Amino acid sequence: MPLTHSLEFSKKLELELENILDYWKKNTLDHEFGGFLGRIDHKNHVIEKAPKGVILNTRLLWTFSKANNFYADKRFDEECNRAFEYLYENFRDECFGGVYWEVDHTGKPTNKRKQIYAQAFSIYALAEYYKYSKNKKAIDWAMGLFDLLEKRAFDTRYNGYIEAFDERWEPIQDLRLSEKDLNAPKTTNTHLHVLEAYTTLFEVTKDQNVRKSLEHLIQLFIDHIFDDTNHLKLFFTMDWKVITSEISFGHDIEAAWLLNYGAKILKDPSFLNETNSLLIKISNTFIAEALDTDFGVFNAIDPKLKKLDRDKHWWPQAEAMVGMAYAWKITHEDTYLNIGYQVWEFINKHIIDHENGEWFFRVDAKGVPYTTEDKVGPWKGPYHNSRALIEIITILKEAQSVHRNT
């Protein structure tokens, strides 16, 4: 894709970013009970008195904070502060530490389990919010959560982070993040989001303990979590035995660029070289295996069972565009950016809800949306798509700037 065309691509993404942020600002504020609404259905109908999950609420804080940092202004100041205060007042466990999994529509805790995935997203959001607000309360809380994870969740015997605990940080039998997941003590998904959380936390604090943990995580992905077929292994026993053959295409490409970004934040030449090489290998495998003929991204495949999930969820489409943009930035080969643009075309045609706003949760193999999925919910927020657009716009603008100065 010539740079002149990439400028047009960038403008399309900028417009869609504005649309996404506008949707969440106008539709999701809970004016009766505070914070943000817990659920909005496919047709934009609010589900009254829906519970509020910590993942949605931390992703809202992250998104509005990231948008302010991207635009370098305070256009979402009210939303940032609303999100932070609601998390602080309603999800923070003052007794045992950490954040609760869920509260009811009034803000009363209903599920107090300590899922490490949730603690990681809290750190990620608080660090991004601190970058914008310089609110000391936010960064102190983030560092406290970091210390808690290292003390309670890090496995000193076998390495890595244990998946979940009860309210008091005691072991539990059912560690699953959701009903769709295997009951495994260690998962790639949780480690991936600890990685992104520690990346931003180190970026804003330069704390050397955070640096060591981030380095350790990157090495763990390189040595143990990615396999020699350029795919992530997903679920593990405590001592890292693999317990599923399923491949998640979205997580593959997301992890590839997040590892590369983490290496850049560390400014470690060795990690940067390794993650550059890994990203290209994963991107090439992704192009060969994950894309449908319409350039939509398949959800998953189980090679042993020869079972391909042809549904296209919203978030792997977003992560695919970022991965292709990173591969283009590293190699300067236009093929990658062209593929990213074709994924965007699929998103624009099938994933964006041009009538009611935001993106559909998923569509089937023919591009038809599932009407039973939420537009807003515990697992449906603005983090994947807004982040993807910001990342790609930034890469394209940097390339334009370099071109003008040469």
Give the separation between CA 261 and CA 240, rounded to whole angstroms: 25
Question: For residue 161, what pLDDT is reported?
Answer: 98
Q: Is residue 349 helix, strand or coil?
A: helix
Length in residues, the chain:
406
Helices (H), 170-268: 188-205, 208-220, 249-266
| pTM of structure | 0.97
Question: Residue 313 belongs to a domain with what CATH number?
Answer: 1.50.10.10
- Alpha-carbon distances, residue 158 vs 68, 155, 376 (angstroms): 40, 6, 38
Residue with tokens 């539709």: 27
What SS3 string covers 211-236? Answer: HHHHHHHHHHHHHHHECCCCCECCEE
Question: For residue 400, what pLDDT is reported?
Answer: 84
What residues have CB less than 8 Å from 27, skipping those under 6 apart? 37, 40, 44, 357, 376
User: Positive or negative CA dihedral for 126, 131, 133, 134?
Assistant: positive
How many CB atoms sit inside 10 A of residue 182's CB? 14
Average pLDDT, 10 consecutive residues per value, the chain (406 residues): 77 98 98 98 97 98 98 98 98 98 98 98 98 98 98 97 98 92 96 98 98 98 96 97 97 98 98 98 98 98 96 98 98 97 98 97 98 97 98 95 68
Q: What is the H or E stretch that residue 344 is in?
A: helix 334-346
Q: What is the H or E stretch that residue 336 is in?
A: helix 334-346
Question: For residue 3, what pLDDT is reported?
Answer: 59
Instruction: State the total domains in the chain.
Output: 1
Give the separation between CA 123 and CA 116, rounded to whole angstroms: 11
User: In which domain, by residue range, is 45 found?
Assistant: 3-404
Q: What angle do CA 195, 196, 199 make, to 5 degrees?
A: 85
Question: Which amino acid, one-letter code, is at 395?
Answer: I
302-336: buried (b, 16+ CB within 10 Å) or exposed (e) per residue?
eeeeeebbebbbbbbbbbbbbbbbbbbbbeeeeeb
Question: For residue 180, what pLDDT is reported?
Answer: 85
Give the separation between CA 270 and CA 268, rounded to whole angstroms: 6
Give the separation between CA 240 and CA 159, rounded to whole angstroms: 9
What residues have CB less than 8 Å from 401, skipping those under 6 apart? none
With beta carbons less than 8 A apart as the criterion, state whether 221 and 189 touch.
no
